[in-house]
């Protein structure tokens, strides 16, 4: 059994996710999202989808937040 690094639950079906060379163990996608998903630089919400990356690698949840932070030429729909 593996132990989730977020909630401490011991679970026989835990998953391991490797990000930037570091391996993490979670018992659910919810815990994985809480621990490793990026946060919007403008509103601080968790970015679960693609998000929008600014020119300096800053991540935003949507075009609105990117524009409010000064990023030009972004749109949520193409």
pLDDT for res 76: 79
pLDDT of the residue at 78? 59
Contact between 71 and 55 (Cβ < 8 Å): yes
The reported pLDDT for the residue numbered 74 is 87
pTM: 0.80
Can you give the pLDDT at residue 59?
96
**Which of 63-69's residues contact partners 24+ apart within 8 Å by CB, and which partners?**
65/40, 65/41, 66/42, 68/42, 69/41, 69/42
* pLDDT tens digits, 9-66: 999 999 999 999 999 999 999 999 999 999 999 999 999 998 999 988 999 999 999 9
Question: What pLDDT is recorded for position 61?
Answer: 96
Q: Provide the Cα torsion 33, 12, 19, 22; round to 10°.
A: 130
């Amino acid at each position: 059994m593996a132990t989730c690094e977020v909630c401490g639950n011991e679970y026989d079906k835990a998953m391991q996710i490797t990000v930037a060379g570091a391996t993490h163990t979670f018992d659910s996608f919810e815990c994985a999202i809480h621990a490793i998903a990026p946060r919007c630089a403008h509103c601080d919400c968790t970015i679960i989808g693609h998000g929008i990356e600014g020119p300096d690698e800053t991540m935003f949840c949507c075009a609105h937040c990117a524009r409010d932070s000064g990023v030009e030429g972004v749109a949520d729909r193409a």
